[in-house]
Chains A and B, each alone.
Chain A
Amino acid sequence: MVSSRVDHKWGMVVDLDRCTGCQACVVACQAENNLPINDKAAFLQKRAFEWIRIERYWEGEYPNVKARFIPIMCQHCSNAPCEPVCPVYATYQSDEGLNVQIYNRCIGARYCINNCPYQVRFFNFWHPTWPASFENYLNPDVTARSRGITEKCTFCVQRLRRGELKVERTEGGRLNDQNMAERNFMPACSQACPTNALTFGDQMDKSAKIGPYFDDVNAHDIHHEHDRTTRSYLLLEELGTKPNVIYLKKIDQYPLGEN
């Protein structure tokens, strides 16, 4: 089903040089998408919801320790392994390059969770509840999922739809980096990031900031990775999932072991 009169192929670039691990993106995502509150019980049960999560790895021995951060969200793979395994077609690849989850179709078989190599899918073990005062903050544009349903990052598709409705259908323009940033049609995480580590854009837009990185990756596949001109790489590229999220390698100014 074509939802806008303009073709888009959404993508994101994550610059690991800029990520400080502040978790603003995590909080923004939680607020925007009606995620359940992750209290201590949820973490202890290992059932916390973090559609975008910051993975933190320690390198080295005290006192020469470094923390490495990598934000991981749904990679919206073009060749998604989570799609063929759903028994009821609750997840599919939209023509805008998004991996879409249909909540009211999901029966909770959880094979998609097992088959996601990035572990970005989350299952509602309980019926989500919020404190009464919080319910006023819930986003009316986003479904509150019930229990027994699998969910994940949607690139804030509700914002993209709102943007398409306003900019493209009503005003006859075209969504691009500028009007998405100005009018909050970007995903919440990239909007919230203080260092602009998360850059969202349209791969089919020639002027988008993400353009050069996607061009580089498309020109040099995994066998020619050493020919790439930018710092781009894909997570778990050898699995052939063709993610629409590119990571930019961190260049260490002060590598471990040197002063």
Chain B
Amino acid sequence: MQEGRPLTPTEVNRDLLRPILETPKWFWPAIAVCGVILLIAAVTVGYMINRGLGITNLNRPVVWGFFITNFVFWIGISHAGVMLSAILRLAKAEWRRPATRAAEVLTIFSLMTAMTMPIIHTGRPWRILYWAFPYDFARGIWPNVRTPLIWDPSAILTYLTSSTLFVVIALVPDFAVLRDRTTGISHQIYSLLSLGWQGNPRQWKLQVIAGVLLSALILPVFVSVHSIVSWDFGMAVAVKSWHSTIFAPYFVVGAVHSGVSAVAFVLILLRWAYGWQAYIRHEHIDALGRLLVVVATGWFYFFVMEVIFGIYGREADEIAVRALQFTIWPISAWTFIFVVTTYFIPVALWLSRSARRNLWIMSIACISVNIGMWLERFLIIVPGLANRQVFTFTWNMYSPSIPEIIIVTATFALVTMLMLLFSRVFPLIPLYDIKEGEILKTEIQIGRRVVPATYRED
């Protein structure tokens, strides 16, 4: 499964460092667009903090709406990084090589973006920072560790810290390459960041050990983060449709699904934007598609389990929520769209080899997954709250307001802008991973054919 021509180290350096050493034409316009959206959103957030959450369409009983949906969505996207870099590294899959850095960076930025959501959605955000911080600033009261809302920042910040460490350590050899090719201030900054990397065998050995250790240690964090976010809902006893034991693995698999799809889409964009056709090849997108079939089917299994066991108890309040989700317009339409876009359209496409190798089709499939997964979070949160009680007197629906739509759109702009800025300063494809992959390529003669092969350590 190795296509494309062999790449020399010089070529690799030149191609992958080009975005850093020269500015692409479309760069500043893209930043400007994102910047405008972010500015509008910043003004909206300021207005919301000034006037209150009344400017949203949140009401009683639907007190969690677009912001929390968005929060869970971005935490979900952040699971791509560990899946692709850590799990595939431990499984020794060769095709992960171009994807790891972009995935890890997407993880970090989507985590940072996700964290803004719970802060702005609270009633008094200016209090949250020092009362959720694990220290008794005020009157000897610590944060309440029994609540999933406090497990959230612990898990997310742990994941953010370890992902950042992961990226920074993996970047050290690449910083050294940049150090040797720049002058002036850039040179000094890269020198500092490269921590005296000389590329001798001892340093490489330490680098590999660090990579393997971090990959293994970040796995429990990766599983725990989205489990804990899912327990924001799972621990609630008053919302029957949320109180399901399967929420933790269901959300984690859903996160991997949306995250890996997002990374696949980002890779296709990078390939087009930076002209990296030799590095992000059809075989990589093909392999991502096959992984996604397994992940999507696993997600679908968990989804079906959740719905079946929701109805299993035949409890009136839970049936009411399911009826809202599946039979009442317009929520039923959204549910139909969600199931089709998350599973049936993408997997049908991914099962065909030619579709997997067609970048347009893959882009559509991956965007479809993320639309569906965003809807999934919405359809778990809002119908659960809308029809939540046996006391039907307080049932109510929810639809988003303009400020909420602006702010949610701006999170996409934020992540895009951060990724763009990152790509100008650090290489988005790890140089040494590609070079290592080139070295490990070889061939085997089988009968009359010469077949590509790889050197493996185990």
> A residues within 8 Å of B by Cβ?
45-48, 53, 55-57, 72, 81, 84-89, 105-111, 113-119, 122-127, 147-150, 236, 239
- Picked from B52, B64, B238, B392, the residue with its CB within 8 Å of the CB of A125 is B52
* B56 contacts across to A, CB distance below 8 A: 125
State in angstroms the CA–CA spacing of A30 and B396 once bound together: 23
Q: Distance (Å) between the CB of B314 and the closest chain A CB? A: 14
* A116 contacts across to B, CB distance below 8 A: 238
Q: Are A111's CB and B238's CB within 8 A?
A: no
Q: Distance (Å) between the CB of A119 and the closest chain B CB? A: 5
Interface CB pairs A-B, < 8 A, 29: A47-B60, A53-B393, A56-B393, A84-B144, A85-B147, A87-B131, A87-B149, A88-B132, A89-B141, A89-B143, A106-B124, A107-B125, A107-B128, A107-B132, A108-B53, A114-B61, A114-B236, A115-B237, A115-B238, A115-B239, A117-B237, A119-B391, A123-B53, A123-B60, A147-B52, A147-B54, A148-B53, A149-B123, A239-B238
- Picked from A46, A106, A115, A117, the residue with its CB within 8 Å of the CB of B60 is A46
State in angstroms the CA–CA spacing of A58 and B322 once bound together: 24
* B150 contacts across to A, CB distance below 8 A: 87
* A86 contacts across to B, CB distance below 8 A: 144, 147, 149
Q: Are A107's CB and B123's CB within 8 A?
A: yes
* A105 contacts across to B, CB distance below 8 A: 131, 141
- Give 1 or 0 for each of B330-342: 1 = CB within 8 Å of chain A CB: 0000000000000
Tell me if B110 counts as interface (CB < 8 A to partner A): no
Q: Are B391's CB and A118's CB within 8 A?
A: yes
Q: Distance (Å) between the CB of A73 and the closest chain B CB? A: 13
Ranked 5 nearest A-B pairs via Cβ: A108-B123, A148-B123, A46-B59, A125-B54, A126-B54
Tell me if B63 counts as interface (CB < 8 A to partner A): yes
State in angstroms the CA–CA spacing of A45 and B54 once bound together: 9
State in angstroms the CA–CA spacing of A81 and B147 once bound together: 11
Interface residues of B: mostly helix, strand, loop or mixed? loop
Tell me if B127 counts as interface (CB < 8 A to partner A): yes
Contact status of A126 and B52, CB under 8 A, knowing A45-B59, A117-B237, A239-B237:
yes
B:230-277 near A, CB below 8 Å: 232, 235-239
* Chain B interface size range: 35 or more
State in angstroms the CA–CA spacing of A55 and B392 once bound together: 9
Nearest chain B residue, comparing its CB with the CB of A125: B54
- A-B contact count, CB below 8 Å? 136
Q: Distance (Å) between the CB of A117 and the closest chain B CB? A: 4
Q: Are A110's CB and B391's CB within 8 A?
A: no
* A48 contacts across to B, CB distance below 8 A: 60
State in angstroms the CA–CA spacing of A122 and B389 once bound together: 16
A114-B236, A123-B63 known; 5 new pairs, CB 8 Å cut-off, are A85-B148, A105-B141, A107-B123, A110-B63, A113-B61
* B237 contacts across to A, CB distance below 8 A: 81, 115, 117, 239
- Picked from A53, A87, A123, A236, the residue with its CB within 8 Å of the CB of B132 is A87
State in angstroms the CA–CA spacing of A141 and B374 once bound together: 46
Tell me if B394 counts as interface (CB < 8 A to partner A): yes
Nearest chain A residue, comparing its CB with the CB of B62: A46
- Give 1 or 0 for each of B108-135: 1 = CB within 8 Å of chain A CB: 0000000000100011110110011000
- Picked from A57, A89, A113, the residue with its CB within 8 Å of the CB of B63 is A113
Q: Distance (Å) between the CB of B52 and the closest chain A CB? A: 4
* B388 contacts across to A, CB distance below 8 A: 119
Contact status of A55 and B144, CB under 8 A, knowing A107-B128, A115-B236, A127-B52:
no
Nearest chain B residue, comparing its CB with the CB of A148: B123
Of listed A84, A119, A126, residue having the most chain B CB within 10 A: A119
Q: Are A85's CB and B236's CB within 8 A?
A: yes
Q: Are A57's CB and B393's CB within 8 A?
A: yes
Contact status of A236 and B390, CB under 8 A, knowing A87-B150, A111-B149, A114-B238:
yes
Q: Distance (Å) between the CB of A155 and the closest chain B CB? A: 20
Q: Distance (Å) between the CB of B446 and the closest chain A CB? A: 61
Q: Are B143's CB and A72's CB within 8 A?
A: no
* A114 contacts across to B, CB distance below 8 A: 61, 63-64, 236, 238-239, 385
Tell me if B146 counts as interface (CB < 8 A to partner A): yes
State in angstroms the CA–CA spacing of A117 and B236 once bound together: 9
Tell me if B58 counts as interface (CB < 8 A to partner A): yes
Q: Are B123's CB and A123's CB within 8 A?
A: yes
Nearest chain A residue, comparing its CB with the CB of B392: A57
State in angstroms the CA–CA spacing of A116 and B389 once bound together: 10
Of listed A108, A115, A126, A127, residue having the most chain B CB within 10 A: A108
Nearest chain B residue, comparing its CB with the CB of A57: B393
* B60 contacts across to A, CB distance below 8 A: 46-48, 113, 119, 122-123
Nearest chain B residue, comparing its CB with the CB of A108: B123
Q: Are B144's CB and A89's CB within 8 A?
A: yes
* A119 contacts across to B, CB distance below 8 A: 60-61, 238, 388-389, 391, 394
